[in-house]
Structure 1
Amino acid sequence: MNNKIHPDLQRLFLDLIQIDAVSGKEQPVADFIRSVTASLGFPAQEDGAVSLSGGNSGNIIVPVNGGGDFLLMAHMDTPRSTKGVKPQLLADRITSDGTTILGVDDRGGISAILWALRQAVEQKKAIKPCTLLFSVCEETTLAGSMFYQPSAQMTHGFVFDSHLSPGKFVSETCGAIAFKMKVKGRASHAGVAPEKGVNAIQIAAEGMRNFPFGRIDACTTANIGIIGGGTATNVVPDTVELEGEIRTDYLDQGEQMMQAVIADFEAAAIRLNGSVECAWHWDFKPYRVSPDNTPYKRMEALCRHLSLEMEGVKSMGGSDANNMNAKGLPTINLGVGAQNPHGTDEFILYDDLQMSADMALALLTEI
């Protein structure tokens, strides 16, 4: 064992990363968590998030001393399989052997919370009433946090899931609109009777003429990343489907941009005698937690307590914290130090994993 990390924390983390559980397949991680919390005197509950995720487990909810008014949260899925992971214990870090991801995202967050609960129980510390929430499908659809409904007594939350170093946290993010377009034309033989056809690719190209690809301003981006259509070079294509996104800090701006995109495609379809269908939704909504909010204030106290340099950071990505804030629960996403997340070169420093766990322990017992 490395002397920079508590041996029980290292064992917890190494046990968790051996569990292969991608989005929708979280059941073995859920079973592991249930076993740990039950052994500490806190039985877990499973909600009905499978109805939304289509997976094999719901969210795991652990009420601690009545459930309290705040959440500690991490997600159970990994973005890619950890099957066959071979952790390498180096002088200052844990990494994989380069053939799989390590799974720090977010087994690091789960380890931190479970270790903190175990330490609090074993050291007979008074534990603040709170709720531990372990969500499903964070990496794909955020279905777990979308399904979860905080109780009326909940006032704030902490998500242990950011790649940032401990002390840094995501205090604000953009939101993301996802959209799918289906452009319809009319098929005909491209050589014999092209005038009888309506080219769906041409309509799509016209519709995209004014699309604001890339970075629009400091807080707005847009992209069309998937497109497909046509059956053969001698057939006027009758259908094109495409998918894209708009990211922005502002709900109104995002929805106005989406309506403008739809209008451009509809205008192109009318000009060229085709039609277009569009479905869109917010994958996650933007949020900003201000210094006046409870989690921000507790983070300040936490960093003073642990001698950490605090920094609130803006992110252009989403997490479970977005859904919690959208439900009216001010929530920040804490850095756990998952470096190079989603890659086979992913790693975590012993110091960062231990500090993340120390943060969870302090939130449970002191701050």
Structure 2
Amino acid sequence: MINRERLLDEFLELVGIDSETRYERKICDHLREKLTTLGFAVEEDDTARVTGHEAGNLIATLKGNVPGAPTVYFTCHMDTVAPGKGVRARVEKDAVVTDGNTVLGADDKAGIAALLEGIRTIRDHGVKHGTIQLIITAGEESGLVGSKALDPDKLKADFGFALDSNGPVGDIITSAPAQVRLDVKIEGKPAHAGVNPEDGISAIQVASRAISKMPLGRIDGETTANIGKFQGGSASNVVPQWVEILAEARSRDEEKLDAQVAKMNRGFEQAAAEWGARAEVKVTRMYPAYKYGEADTVVQKAVAAVKRVKREPSLLASGGGSDANVIAGHGIPTVNLGIGYEAIHTTNERMPLEELYKAAELVVALIEESRR
């Protein structure tokens, strides 16, 4: 039922609007106008004052016309990664691509375009539906800051779907990990590296000893850990007093995550104690895990909708987080869905046309399945 030409035009229009993360004002205003025209009651929340971004999240509601039907929500994000200014998109054979100087922004404007076309389609064809809520976030690419600042009291849905995963349409991310960030400072003791090095305590050596002893990389099938940043020291002739480390751990199992973080924390503290240094470890939980099975309503609706659009559903676990994690953490069952974009976050990003069309068909099918 979708209008392919209209959908492609919509997508090209969206990717042509600059919206690098933090600078979402233009795209936010554009989407607000679009959604209002489609009959949604639209609110921009006040999270920009917390996140420091130009715009807040858009929360849009379309009242249903099926009494007693569940309320379903969809979420996409309006921001892109850099370089995303002055995108020049074109259709090349069977996909939309750029001129190679910027990202395309299919992550997540393909999701938004599919969502808008899906809404237009149900209106054009008089499709019955329950109440539909849209959560279009700012700052997803800046660490999910928009969704994390979102007031959960504004979420009114029974369950919902994030349109924000790589992989073909038909992929259903039923499980995704929690993430913990560790900001570490090691304080040693400075000394002249050539005259009296024995009087110093090298923060770099302390940190290196700690890291060499802790489990990192792929811990098990559900858990990973990484040292992402390591910097310190000032000159070759000075025993370094300071080192700063940025690390993370992820797991789809909260107990495993807690155990991994404890090992990393203990590793820094023990190494510091052995060398007479000091370790300061700040642990921040970035977002929660979610996990749903075939018996859960949200999964059943997604599977039925994928089959309606003649794709084979694939239930998958992810190693990455998204706004789905945050909203699911507020108690609203959510799965993330494959949209089909490729090579995201690179200047080789592309959006296959058939996946774009199929994503819009899937939105219609999800709305129809969710009213039951």
Fold-level similarity (TM above 0.5): yes
Distance 1:360 1:223 in 2: 36
Q: How far apart are residue 326 of structure 1 and its match?
A: 1.4
Amino acid corresponding to residue 341 of structure 1 in structure 2? I
Which 4+ residue blocks in structure 1 deviate beyond 4 angstroms? 150-153
Amino acid corresponding to residue 227 of structure 1 in structure 2? F
Please, which runs of 5 or more residues in structure 2 have no aligned partner?
none
2:62 to 64, 78, 99: 64
Conserved 8 A contact 2:16-2:89: no
Mapping for residues 195-234 of structure 1, pairs under 5 Å? 195-234=198-237
Amino acid corresponding to residue 49 of structure 1 in structure 2? T
Distance 1:151 1:57 in 2: 17
The 3-state SS of whatever aligns with 2:140 is: coil
Q: How far apart are residue 347 of structure 1 and its match?
A: 1.0
Q: How far apart are residue 282 of structure 1 and its match?
A: 2.2
> Cα deviation per residue 1:207-243 (whole Å; 9 max; x = unaligned)?
1121112212222221112101111111111100011
Q: In percent, how many aligned pairs have the same letter?
A: 32
2:361 to 346, 358, 362: 358
Distance 2:109 2:134 in 1: 14
Mapping for residues 289-328 of structure 1, pairs under 5 Å? 289-328=292-331
Matched with 2:125 is 123
2:103 to 101, 104, 129: 101
Distance 2:58 2:88 in 1: 27
Distance 2:212 2:311 in 1: 49
Matched with 1:55 is 53
Q: How far apart are residue 194 of structure 1 and its match?
A: 2.2
RMSD: 1.9
Matched with 1:175 is 178
**TM superposition score normalised by structure 2:** 0.93
Distance 2:50 2:315 in 1: 32
The 3-state SS of whatever aligns with 1:21 is: coil
> Cα deviation per residue 1:34-91 (whole Å; 9 max; x = unaligned)?
1111112223101122233210111001011179622111001112232222212123
Matched with 1:7 is 5
The 3-state SS of whatever aligns with 1:309 is: coil
Matched with 1:24 is 22
2:243 to 240, 243, 250: 240
Q: Tell me which moved more, 281-290 or 147-156.
A: 147-156
Conserved 8 A contact 2:58-2:136: yes
**TM superposition score normalised by structure 1:** 0.94
Q: Cα gap change, 1:342/1:32 in structure 2, threshold over 3 Å: closer, same or farther?
A: same
Conserved 8 A contact 1:5-1:353: no
> Cα deviation per residue 1:225-276 (whole Å; 9 max; x = unaligned)?
2101111111111100011111222112212221222222111111211101
Conserved 8 A contact 1:68-1:153: no
Matched with 1:90 is 92
Q: Is 1:154 matched with 2:157? A: yes
The 3-state SS of whatever aligns with 1:110 is: helix
Q: How many residues align?
A: 364
Q: Cα gap change, 1:43/1:152 in structure 2, threshold over 3 Å: closer, same or farther?
A: closer
Q: Is 1:139 matched with 2:138? A: no
Matched with 1:81 is 83
Matched with 2:37 is 39
